[in-house]
Structure 1
């Protein structure tokens, strides 16, 4: 017994860590595969990786052409997220290819793609499948002769200082990014047929995409605010993707660099790159904007149990609890635009749910005077948040023969007609029999 006591004490001491590691409650991705062109990127982009590690992510660094890399084994995924910092890779190693990456995203996992002016066709193909089209002109980068970053060396204005951010606190955080973001790389456009792609950082109206070492013979294919510098995608399965045309913007050099936008007297001691990309990575890895719904219930007014069916014109109550992941725990989600539909082929009832600001959303309404198989449906989609799709099926029956009122007010004229006919017949008979 004395020999087993230290082992027992050791098991008790690591139990909290085991429970935390395998907790199904957290939506935050933890195992991240980072594919690199060169291991030098690990040190040149150390501040970004350090930020991820400080938030509890386990990063596995591998060369993109490593013949041993794999995303899954025996049908189980080994990682929760994938970072591609390998813009020049022509072919992935191991079992990784474009199809494997798309299947990885289709399983609900997250992806970060960083390209540059020398991006390979492989990286561009992955981005295209995600709804983003990089400029195909060889050597093309984003150039801006008005919104460029002031530097000691007069260059070709390919170093851009952009502050055209998406207006969304859930994606970029509630703290305002004061300094412009430094960007140097390739621009891209969004596929107009893909409504799931959003521009997070846009180029200014004076920007265009071209090769700075060659003269313009034709108008550039990408110009103005149509150029996206950084974009995000939230798939219908709530997988999230980040695409940027500049690997350099994530580097330690740009994180620490000062910035002054041309034409502006303000010189910032530090660019907005670190804050921008840190907050954006929190959103991509579901540390913010992730919703879950619990305890979907419905019942008749005045009752507690959920019935197997409703009768037409019943009064009912519907409720659901919605919470948001804050990065460390679940907190009550507060909004005024959550709606429920009572649906059969089309919505017969559409009600906005009221909230107690503690996570509970509820409403009450009358079952329509139509019988059939209905559904309680909540389809909630809001910019930056994971979508919620809830459905519960319930049949609605008509009144039984013994549940109708004895006398229906609408039928009083018919009742009057029947009784007047009987009285008239009685009077006619009496008069006919006893009159001379």
Structure 2
């Protein structure tokens, strides 16, 4: 219902010329340009705004032809409506953001000229029953068009990011998936998007349900799937505190949403009621923020709400929150106050676990000898303090599997050197490659104290990483070693923290201090793979040595590699951004080398920085750092207020159009974020590095640097402007940013570049080079006109014939 009272109707032409005094508290406005200009004129100052209490805003959608009106709404029509709807909302909110301090209610309406009843009365229908325009829009709905939004405003998706269902269940139960007999009807039916017939659509009853998504039936999906439901639930919980003016929020999950919910989540702000079913509890806590989570009996019996979700509710509001949970299959649970100081839970304590990795927190540690677990206790504690969930398995375990139901069972994998000849059938080189190809991250630890299995050597060769043929070879250095622990063998290397790989590469492993690397296995990296990068190189005086070789000297030909040819810790980032690190010295992660006292050959005693480096190394391999994310991509014509817009040219201001014209000025923007430990931050390339845009067909026509143009809390926007080439065809905007230790950015947007239309060529009178020819043309025309005038209006003088004869 519209607000009651006098309404100032700005949709009427000339209403801005006759502004009533005083202005009514209710105004009506629509999204047309003329109406919004009247709105701006009347409410350009705060004096008039203070009287407004209600705004009725009507978004105008494009009309459709009479022919289309007799068809179901097409996908193209729905997309056009979404753009108009989004632009209408933006146009209003861009104006209202200047109304700071004003409080009013907003009623939103949507209307199209094709909704006019008078128009419908003039259309004839060709079938019985109600006319199709009464329900032609029932199978489409308005959405915010993400491409129309300014960059970084909103990240939307009509499905889960992976396209999976939010719910799951037992699909083998036939009682839950019964389709009506008429589902497979062979009766002729019109196409939803048909444009080729003047007959209005008519469909079998089953087809309506198919279009509505009710067929094929999916009633067996009665249980929230944690892999998709939990991220959705958490995003809703984290969203609410960021909307301080939000009064109430309800989320339904079920086959028919609010009409037949299986699960609901409701938020009420302090002072806002609405929990009728739990009135006493609602009244008691009316002045606090409240969450209610209710199940209606149709969810699977084994489902329980994760502790992670409950703890997220508890920590959602810094000023405290009340939580009420009702599950028919469980007893009622009421969680009490939570505040900055702590949380008092009436029926039990809940512990929240937040994964800091951008991909997950499940870590599998393959450790054959369980007694060695205590040697790395501080390392395990550091991982658990960063909220990783560690699972220890022996390679001989029958339960060991990297995959479960075709999906990764663990997000990260730590492999320690086996005592036997290999890792067993569950960790073959092929399975490890499959694990990496599926996106899993691997930290492979080696040690010269344990011979490297041939299977591992074969696996690393697949990655273009070579190990010494002698499985017990160790890297020694007679100038950089610990004199206290390896005075004779010189196999405990003392090295500084690694510098940047290149000046234009971010160094995630740098810092002060010395690293101690005992029993190190050296690696040689292939020169042809752009996916490999050394993290720690050997000093120029280091070389590989087989301690079982009893000779007093080593032949140069027998040495596997020397100096900087040796990589002691190597990194590979696959094309799918999975990370694989080869740690040549697993012992450097032992407790005794964390902050141990070591003595350099010169006698200087220092503390090792192994613990800090181990954290940096695992942060990178487990994707806590160095993860780039594309927040948004935009391309559009450069706005030129002085340029007239032709009817068939690309619309100015339209974001991400599919077609451009040759010699048009185009701006391209991409927003990038960098994941840093717990959240995304703006990405800024290192000094000397730049992000480039290619505008290419078969080869690049433009290769341009993208420069930072703006930045917000989570992303940096990089922009460039250029002119499309004088060449028509299919082009692509392409950003291909690949740098060591950063995930790859590969964005490609395909567009068409067309020639000038016949009415877009410049007229001859605006081309200065054509002026002489135009002048000559008009001179000829003018001379001809003068000749005609002379010929018509100048009579010849009469001749005296007698005088002419005498002259003869």
Which range, TM-score by smaller chain? Answer: 0.7 to 0.9
How far apart in 2 are the matches of 1:86 and 1:223?
Answer: 24
Residues 141-200 of structure 1: per-residue CA shift (max 9 Å, x gap): 1121111111166322112112262416845346x1312333323212112222322221
Higher relative contact order (CA 8 A, sep 6+): 1
1:262 aligns with 2:601: yes
Find the residue that maps to 2:374 and give its secondary structure.
Answer: helix
Contact in 2 for aligned 1:38/1:63 (Cα 8 Å): yes
> Cα–Cα, structure 1 residues 22 and 280, in superposed 2: closer, same or farther, change >3 Å?
closer
The residue that corresponds to 1:325 in the other structure is 675
Find the residue that maps to 1:253 and give its secondary structure.
Answer: helix
The residue that corresponds to 2:645 in the other structure is none
The residue that corresponds to 1:366 in the other structure is 723
Quote how far apart the aligned CAs of 1:254 are: 1.5
Quote how far apart the aligned CAs of 1:276 are: 1.4
Quote how far apart the aligned CAs of 1:421 are: 6.5
Quote how far apart the aligned CAs of 1:275 are: 1.4
How far apart in 2 are the matches of 1:12 and 1:201?
Answer: 41
> Cα–Cα, structure 1 residues 398 and 202, in superposed 2: closer, same or farther, change >3 Å?
same
Quote how far apart the aligned CAs of 1:256 are: 3.9
> Cα–Cα, structure 1 residues 379 and 77, in superposed 2: closer, same or farther, change >3 Å?
same
Match of 1:199 among 506, 531, 534: 534
Match of 1:108 among 439, 446, 463: 439
Q: How does 1:25-424 map to 2 (within 5 A)?
A: 27-117=358-448, 118-151=451-484, 154-163=487-496, 165-167=498-500, 170-173=506-509, 176-214=511-549, 215=551, 216=553, 218-219=555-556, 220-263=559-602, 265-268=603-606, 270-302=607-639, 303-306=652-655, 307-335=657-685, 337-349=690-702, 350-358=704-712, 359-407=716-764, 409=767, 410-412=769-771, 414-415=773-774
> Cα–Cα, structure 1 residues 364 and 271, in superposed 2: closer, same or farther, change >3 Å?
same
**Which 10-residue stretch deviates more, 12-21 or 310-319?**
12-21
Quote how far apart the aligned CAs of 1:225 are: 1.9
Quote how far apart the aligned CAs of 1:325 are: 0.7
Find the residue that maps to 1:277 and give its secondary structure.
Answer: helix
How far apart in 2 are the matches of 1:37 and 1:374?
Answer: 55
How far apart in 2 are the matches of 1:385 and 1:153?
Answer: 37
How far apart in 2 are the matches of 1:300 and 1:25?
Answer: 40
Structure with higher Rg: it is 2
How far apart in 2 are the matches of 1:109 and 1:80?
Answer: 5
Contact in 1 for aligned 2:355/2:361 (Cα 8 Å): no
- Going by fraction, where is strand more abundant, 1 or 2? 1
Number of aligned pairs?
431
Contact in 1 for aligned 2:467/2:523 (Cα 8 Å): yes
Contact in 2 for aligned 1:171/1:280 (Cα 8 Å): no
Q: Which runs of 5+ in 1 are unaligned?
A: none
> Cα–Cα, structure 1 residues 351 and 372, in superposed 2: closer, same or farther, change >3 Å?
farther
Contact in 1 for aligned 2:485/2:492 (Cα 8 Å): no
| TM-score normalised by length of structure 2 | 0.49
* Structure 1 segments of 4+ aligned residues over 6 angstroms from their partners: 18-26, 420-432
| TM-score normalised by length of structure 1 | 0.88
> Cα–Cα, structure 1 residues 146 and 122, in superposed 2: closer, same or farther, change >3 Å?
same
Contact in 2 for aligned 1:291/1:324 (Cα 8 Å): yes
How large is the RMSD of aligned CA atoms in angstroms? 3.4
> Cα–Cα, structure 1 residues 153 and 188, in superposed 2: closer, same or farther, change >3 Å?
closer
How far apart in 1 are the matches of 2:473 and 2:372?
Answer: 23
